[in-house]
Each structure stands twice: as C-alpha cells, then as structure tokens.
C-alpha cells in the first residue's frame, strides 16, 4: 500500500493540515491546504474514490468544498464516496452552502454519503473497492473516529485522526503495518502525545509508527522513542510503501 502524507501538521502551524492519501484513491481527511498540496504533486483529483472524514473540525474538513469544486473543473464523472460519522451528510451540505452556495446535488458527479454506524454496540465494517474499513472512537472535544484500512493483500494502516487513545483504538490498530498517530502534545485534553502514540504502537504490535499533527511548539524527544523500531516523523508530501 502506498501512503502519501499530503499534510502532517496541526490546525495553526506552518505545515499543511494533516491529510493522508492511500494508494492514490483514498483520502483521509481534507483540511484547508489539502487541495493545494495535491496540486503540488500534479495529482489528478478524480483518482480519489473515497474521502474519510475523522471529525468535523476545520483543519480536517474545510478543504472539502474546494476539493469538490476543483474536481468538477477537472471533469470528474466518477462517483465519490464520502465516509464519516453520524451527521456527515448534513454537515457537508451546510459547509458547501456556506462556502460556495452549492449543494451536493449541484455537481456533475454523484456523491454517496456513508455514515459510520453501530449494531449491538459494535461499529460495522465498511467495504469498498477491495478495502475493509474498521472504526473506533477517540476521546476528543467532539465525536471523532480512528479508522483502519486493510487491502486485499492484508496490509493494514491505522489512522487515529484527532483524540486521546482509547482501548478501542488499541484494539483497532492491532497488528497494523503502519499506524499514523496524532501526537499533539503532553497533557492536552482530547489529544494524544508522542508518549501515548508510542505506547499505542507497542500495545498494537505495529511495524511502523508515523507521528503527525504535532503541536507547533512541541519538541519531539527522541528518548521517548527508544526501543521502538520504525518510528518516524514524516514531512509534508513524503511517501512510504508498506
């Protein structure tokens, strides 16, 4: 699986907002600079088949209206899947109207909304294009979700989105080939840290750990990573194959 770190930053820093591209077809979050970052790569927007939205904070979703409008300018015809928590269709509709006075039905391509759901207190898997998506809630200031994606070859990537790690997230991330974890800072309510991300990687027995969404004033301490192989801090537009 090819992973492109479109952005690796927090909401207000110099780096682009955290957004991840998997296999050039699955976009995890769509922050305020996501479109510009993709354009730096000369990336064809219609290649994206699905967008996962971890939660509704601006640095994870406010790039969506521009992405959709630019996709139409690039003559997109393919259906676009949008996957997120409960309320995603209403939130996106309001966001589009505020941004460009548009509705999801105004585009020349169809948008399918898929809401994360539970049956008997268990999140339901979502299957799409030979990928299996599984979910867990994080502890954040608003409802927020981590996601794991497993491809047909069994390669597994877990993206925590924003929020403190829960036991459910540890279970979700189990045996991941790569965990992409928020490491915002120590003792910040509703967020994770380097120590928490490293502990998540240990418990989940992950092969690699990428630390993203680090607070702009936070200094990453190398000693916190001792004993953990495969830990790294990616830069914007870095690429890794797993």
| Rounded CA separation 145/138 (Å) | 6
Ramachandran class of 46: left when φ > 0, alpha when ψ lies in -120 to 50, beta otherwise: alpha
In the residue annotation, 23 being an active-site residue is answered as: no
Which positions ≥6 away from 64 have C-beta within 8 Å?
Answer: 30, 51, 53, 92, 95, 96
Which of 23, 24, 29, 59 is catalytic? The answer is 59
**Residue 218 exposure: Cα atoms within 13 Å on the Cβ side:** 25
| Rounded CA separation 10/15 (Å) | 7
* Vertex 122: Cα angle to 116 and 124 (nearest 5): 40
Active site residues: 59
């Amino acid at each position: 699986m090819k992973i492109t770190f479109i952005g690796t930053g927090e909401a207000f820093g110099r780096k682009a907002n955290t957004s991840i591209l998997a296999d050039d077809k699955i976009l995890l979050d769509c922050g305020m600079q996501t479109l510009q970052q993709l354009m730096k790569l000369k990336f064809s927007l219609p290649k994206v088949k699905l967008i996962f939205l971890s939660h509704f904070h601006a640095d994870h979703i406010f790039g969506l209206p521009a992405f959709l409008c630019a996709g139409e300018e690039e003559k997109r015809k393919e259906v676009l899947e949008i996957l997120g928590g409960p309320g995603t269709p209403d939130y996106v509709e309001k966001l589009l109207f505020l941004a460009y006075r548009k509705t999801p039905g105004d585009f020349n391509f169809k948008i399918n909304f898929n809401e994360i759901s539970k049956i008997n207190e268990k999140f339901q898997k979502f299957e799409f294009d030979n990928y299996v998506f599984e979910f867990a809630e994080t502890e954040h200031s608003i409802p927020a979700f981590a996601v794991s994606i497993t491809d047909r070859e069994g390669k597994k990537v877990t993206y925590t989105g924003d929020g403190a790690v829960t036991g459910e997230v540890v279970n979700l991330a189990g045996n991941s080939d790569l965990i992409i974890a928020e490491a915002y800072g120590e003792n910040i309510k509703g967020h994770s840290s380097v120590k928490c991300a490293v502990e998540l990687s240990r418990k989940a027995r992950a092969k690699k750990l990428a630390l993203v969404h680090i607070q702009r004033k936070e200094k990453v301490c190398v000693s916190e990573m001792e004993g953990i192989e495969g830990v790294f801090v990616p830069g914007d537009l870095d690429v890794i194959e797993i």
